[in-house]
Structure 1
Amino acid sequence: MEWILFDKDGTLIYFDRSWMKIGLQLVDDFMDEYRENINDVDRAYRQLGVIDGEIQPGTIMASGALDEMIKAFCEIAGQDVTQWAQRRSQTLVDQRVPENILVEGITDTLDTLKKDGYRLGIVTSDSKVGVEQFLEATQLEHYFDVVISTEADAVEKPNAEVLNPLFHHYDVAPQDVMIVGDTANDIQTGVNAHLGLSVAVLTGVGLEEEFTKADYVFETANEIIKIIK
């Protein structure tokens, strides 16, 4: 391995509950906006993975990409709600107050990897502003050689093109890259991009049984030291 790419939320930091608040607000706003088109609101909430006011692990609102969420919204509303959902989602993201609680030991792990000569990156579904807030709050910026965020209308994980900023700017083969993340989408990104290793961690929203395509499943990202050593 030459490069190790980390997801941010649920991997470097414990999953940011502010994302759950955004997800819940987006679903509530969707229900209000298209209530006349929704025959069974309770069923619609369950379909999206919201039960008793909580987003359930392993559901589309917990770990799905935005386009997957929008597809579900369109099916429930019986019409194309893409533009509304994209605008409302972006507004909520821009307004969120992030939480940045580092996974214990992750700074030591990044330090070890950097000293051992690995090049490190972040690939996240968060926006550029969100990543900048994270790096400023945690003071981890100096560890990362590339930071890939998701802006409006950009490709998202698990689309392999999300890694173009890495492969277009650095001379590295996919088989020399490892991705580490907490969702099935992170692992599928590794599969789609033909990366050398895809490692799942259990510090986020993904369930262990979802990670059938992962090469390894660890409690935390710190354990990648084991397979590298």
Structure 2
Amino acid sequence: MTLKVIVFDFDGTLADTYDAFIEIANSLSGEFGYKPVDIKEQETLKNLSAKALIKQSEISVFKIPFVLKRVKSELSHKIRELEPIKDIPHCLKELKNQGYSLGIITSNTEENVMKFLTHHNLENFFDFIYGESTLFGKHRIIKKLLKEKQLLPDEVIYIGDETRDIYSAKKSRVQSVAVTWGFNSSQALAEQEPDFLINKPYELVTILQNYQYDVISDKTHFNSVTIQT
């Protein structure tokens, strides 16, 4: 089966939003009654899944939707100040030139994503954006994508920076690429056994070249692979 569609997470995968998220989350901690993130704790927290992070913060689960809504609202004021992950624009151009359809599935808002893409002249690389997915519901959006675009799981690959991205890809039966430059550490990501674990954006181009080669050879599935440079 030929790979046709490459789907990206947004925050931490395409856009360098980590510091902005921490700053906003800390500014809201008093209002919503959870523990702010200390600088010394940040590396430790990168080893936690989203569920474990919520437990660590001691926030009421009933407040989470309201916190997330506020975080995305506050982020909209900073979105034009944020930068793409280094080398991501060049990789997007390369992948688009190779004929892939590119898209985004994110729990951020479509408005925030479009502001960011337009500001950095990246909007023409993407064929679709699915925004506002629930915190643990990206697999439902991936399945919706498969149905709407009449795609088979082997025709889609999903790229993300969090353990929940790997979970969503597996639940949707699509291949997963975990990236180590975002919200979760390489250790946390590796424990979830993504199909690929990469450290630099250009490694994605290498993976997809090898993917297409092995598909031609009727090897359409991979063991967990880490690309080292």
Q: Distance in 2 between matches of 1:91 and 1:228?
A: 37
User: What is the CA-CA distance between 1:89 and the residue it aligns to?
Assistant: 3.6
Which residue of structure 1 lines up, in the alignment, with residue 177 of structure 2?
Answer: 199
1:227 to 188, 207, 213: 207
Q: Distance in 2 between matches of 1:165 and 1:129?
A: 20
User: What is the CA-CA distance between 1:61 and the residue it aligns to?
Assistant: 11
Aligned residues: 202
The C-alpha deviation readout for 1:94-141, integer Å capped at 9, x for no partner, is 133224212222222111111111111111121122112112211111
User: What is the CA-CA distance between 1:183 and the residue it aligns to?
Assistant: 0.9
The C-alpha deviation readout for 1:144-183, integer Å capped at 9, x for no partner, is 1111111xxx534454102244223202111221111111
> In 2 relative to 1, CA 137–61 (structure 1 residues): closer, same or farther, beyond 3 Å?
farther
Which residue of structure 1 lines up, in the alignment, with residue 218 of structure 2?
Answer: none
- Is the 2:24–2:74 contact (alpha carbons within 8 Å) kept by the matching residues of 1? no
Which residue of structure 2 lines up, in the alignment, with residue 37 of structure 1?
Answer: none
- Is the 2:158–2:176 contact (alpha carbons within 8 Å) kept by the matching residues of 1? yes
Q: Distance in 2 between matches of 1:130 and 1:28?
A: 25
Q: Distance in 1 between matches of 2:160 and 2:104?
A: 10
Report whether the alignment pairs 1:166 with 2:131.
no
2:59 alignment partner, SS class: helix
* Unpaired segments ≥5 residues, structure 2: 210-229
Which residue of structure 2 lines up, in the alignment, with residue 59 of structure 1?
Answer: 45
- Is the 2:102–2:126 contact (alpha carbons within 8 Å) kept by the matching residues of 1? yes
* Pairing of 1:60-99 with structure 2 (within 5 A): 64=50, 72-74=58-60, 82=62, 84-96=63-75, 97-98=78-79, 99=81
Q: Distance in 1 between matches of 2:83 and 2:167?
A: 26
RMSD over equivalenced CA pairs, Å = 3.0
Q: Distance in 2 between matches of 1:127 and 1:62?
A: 24
Which residue of structure 2 lines up, in the alignment, with residue 188 of structure 1?
Answer: 167
> In 2 relative to 1, CA 163–94 (structure 1 residues): closer, same or farther, beyond 3 Å?
same
The C-alpha deviation readout for 1:68-112, integer Å capped at 9, x for no partner, is 5799522xxxxxx62x54334423421332242122222221111
Give me the TM-score of the superposition, normalised by structure 2: 0.75
Q: Distance in 2 between matches of 1:165 and 1:228?
A: 23
Report whether the alignment pairs 1:113 with 2:95.
yes
2:32 alignment partner, SS class: helix
- Is the 1:11–1:220 contact (alpha carbons within 8 Å) kept by the matching residues of 2? no
> In 2 relative to 1, CA 85–160 (structure 1 residues): closer, same or farther, beyond 3 Å?
closer
- Is the 1:146–1:166 contact (alpha carbons within 8 Å) kept by the matching residues of 2? no
- Residue type at the aligned position of 2:59: F
* Pairing of 1:121-136 with structure 2 (within 5 A): 121-136=103-118
Q: Distance in 1 between matches of 2:47 and 2:26?
A: 8
Q: Distance in 2 between matches of 1:186 and 1:193?
A: 11
- Is the 1:4–1:177 contact (alpha carbons within 8 Å) kept by the matching residues of 2? yes
